[in-house]
Structures are given as structure tokens and as C-alpha cells.
Amino acid sequence: MEFKVGKMELNCKNDAFISSVTFSDAERDSGRPNEDNILKTAELLGEHGFVRMVNVFNPKMLSNLDSHYRNRYSSYLHNTNRPNRRPLFTVDVEGPFNDSEFFAHPLIIPVIKKMLGDNSILAALSSVVSFPGAPDQYIHRDAKQLFGKDYSVDKDIPAYSITVLIPLVDCNLQTGCTKVWPGSHLCGCEEDALKEPPIDPEVQRGSILMTDGRLVHRGGANVSELLRPLVYMTYHCHWYRDFGGYEDRPPVNITTKEFKKIPDNYKHMFSWTRDPYRMIRFKNLLRRAIPGSAIKLMRSLK
Ligand SMILES: O=C(O)CCC(=O)C(=O)O
């Protein structure tokens, strides 16, 4: 949902309180986070609509993801003719991106489960790149409201969509932070949501920003000379789907071969991308194409 922009968007306070939890190297490398840190992360996310998780990806894992990404998507990273200088593209579930340590990261997934339940799904795996000179992105919320014209119903219900933003370079005031309006996920309308100025949480490579789908935010301008690639994963409650923004590309792209590699206990995160009626459709098509008597004849020939 796009907002009409008021004057306050320019009034950023970077010294404001940042909702943030720092994980130790031991938690990161063992994949066994301290339960208090998970609780704190979920609590801050619920209260402010965003939380920065510091020191989530170990450098080796991130560098594997990064080199696969830069190789595979190099055509998007050289230049752009988009006026907003922010190309968006789907990241295929393959290579290091088809790894449960990534899509069900042991520090991230416990928070997702606390917020969305045990059977949440991976609803998007995608990337947005902001090129040097990219202006501020339009102000928006990621999730469309469930009922009515605004968020006056949604503001009173638990989170149903969460985005995990993974920067591949440091996000700061030069490369562009994701500007957030704290608490705006609990605001029913645009006027309330934009009452307070936004803040710019800096997120270093290896850390992530988690946002409630209802949070009002925008990518900040890239005033540096550096490319600022961001990979993001969106998780949904198992009953929720939102295809807004994915009219011309799939939110999750996973082939049958890659789907087979997903461990059984994570398959539910991706099974919504498969068509359970594919064989039935195929049989119906055959039935229409081949008259009944021909099918009977074929059966009798067996
Ligand atoms: O670039 C960013 O920091 C945020 C991107 C974003 O919010 C989006 O593409 O929906």
C-alpha cells in the first residue's frame, strides 16, 4: 500500500531508540540462541513493529550466499534503467539459498514461530538492489490489510506477515537504511502512522532487520558510490497469501528438483508453491481431448 507523503518524512532522528538485540558469536555459530534473546526479539518486534538482530549470519555463510548471488544475478547488478534505480527480482531457491540454515535460520525461525506459529510458510524470497543515486523509496506497508479500507481491524490482531531484510553490505545513512515508522504497525490509518518521524536503523552486513508486514517503512536514498543489495524473506501465517507486487514474477521460485531436496520437516514452508491438483488437471485434459470410447478402447487394449 502506497502512502501520500507528508513533510515529516524528511525529519529523521538517527539518534532515536533502536529496537535491537545482539547475539553472541557462540549463539550464532552453534545455532543455539539464548531463549531470553529470542523472547526479547519477539517482544520488541511486537511492540515496535521492527527489530534489528545483530550478528545473525556467520561471515563464511554470508560470503557463500553473497558470491552465489553476485554470480547468478550479475545481470541485475551492473546497471539499471529503472527510474527509481531499485530493481527487484526473485532469488531462486537453489545452491546456498536452498539450505535450511538459511531459510529456517536457527536464530531467525524461533522468532518467526513465536510470532506466526509453528506451521508458517516462506511466502517470498527476493532481492531489492538500490543503485548509487537511488532516491527514497515510496512509503508503504508490505502486507495488505485483511479487512476493510484501512488497517483499523488489522491494528488489533497479531502479526500475520513478517519480513526479514538481509543486507549484503552495511546499510547506513550513505548506502540507505530501511527507514521505519516505529509502532506504525498498530496504526489504523495513514494519518496516525505518520504522526511521528521515521528512524534509520543502521544494519551491518551479518545482521538483519525484521519487520511486521503492517509496519510503515521505505528504503532510504542511496547517496553513496556503492551498490546496496538486499535479500529478503517474507514469512506468513500458513493461511495467509499476498501476491501484491508479484504480478510479473513468482514470490518463491523453486523447481521440483530443488523442492525434493528440502528436508521433510521444512517441506510445509514451500508446499504452497506446488500444485496439488496437477495430475487431476492432466487427466481431465486427456479426458477432454480423447473421447470416452477411445479411453475405454485404450483400457481394453492393455
Ligand atoms: O530497500 C529497503 O531498505 C526496503 C525495501 C522495501 O521495503 C521493499 O522493497 O518493499
Write out pLDDT tens, residues 2-31.
Answer: 444 333 333 334 445 799 999 999 999 999
Which of 122, 62, 50 lies closest to 93 in space, CA to CA?
122
Mutational pocket test of ligand 1: of 178, 185, 199, 249, the residue with most ligand atoms within 8 Å of the beta carbon: 178
Mutational pocket test of ligand 1: of 3, 80, 128, the residue with most ligand atoms within 8 Å of the beta carbon: 128
Closest C-alpha residue for ligand 1 atom 1: 219
Least confident of 48-52, 157-161, 287-291: 287-291
- Give CA 259 to chain center in angstroms: 19
Instruction: Give residue-wise pLDDT tens across range 97-145.
Output: 999 999 999 999 999 999 999 999 999 999 999 999 999 999 999 999 9
Instruction: Give residue-wise pLDDT tens across range 27-66.
Output: 999 999 999 999 999 999 999 999 999 999 999 999 999 9
Closest C-alpha residue for ligand 1 atom 9: 128
CB 151 within 8 A of CB 183: no
- How far is residue 138 from each of residues 4, 165, 168, 188, measured CA to CA in Å? 9, 17, 22, 19
CB 143 within 8 A of CB 242: yes
Half-sphere exposure of residue 255: CA atoms within 13 angstroms, side-chain side: 5
pLDDT at residue 279, rounded to an integer = 87
- Give CA 253 to chain center in angstroms: 14
What's at 279, amino acid-wise? M
**pTM: predicted TM-score of the whole model, two decimal places:** 0.90
Going by pLDDT thresholds of 50, 70 and 90, the confidence category of residue 289 is: confident
- 91 Cβ contact list (under 8 Å, min separation 6): 69, 73, 97, 125, 126, 127, 231, 253
Least confident of 50-54, 171-175, 243-247, 248-252: 243-247
How much is the average pLDDT of 224-245?
96
Cell 506504525 identifies what position? 184
pLDDT at residue 13, rounded to an integer = 46
Which of 126, 127, 136, 130 lies closest to 80 in space, CA to CA?
130
Q: Is a pLDDT exceeding 90 seen at residue 290?
A: no
pLDDT at residue 7, rounded to an integer = 32
CB 126 within 8 A of CB 253: no
How much is the average pLDDT of 59-80?
97
113 Cα–ligand 1 center, Å: 23
Q: Is a pLDDT exceeding 90 seen at residue 256?
A: yes
Q: How do beta strands 20-22 and 50-54 pair?
A: parallel
- 128 in contact with ligand 1, CB cutoff 6 A: yes
Which of 282, 69, 114 lies closest to 212 in space, CA to CA?
114
Structural domains in the chain, CATH included, are: 7-269 (2.60.120.620), 277-302 (no CATH)
Q: Is a pLDDT exceeding 70 seen at residue 298?
A: no
| Cα distance between residue 211 and residue 141, in whole Å | 10
Bridge partners (DSSP) listed for residue 50: 211
| Cα distance between residue 161 and residue 240, in whole Å | 8
Burial of 124 from C-beta contacts in 10 A (0-12 / 13-18 / 19+) = buried
pLDDT at residue 294, rounded to an integer = 65
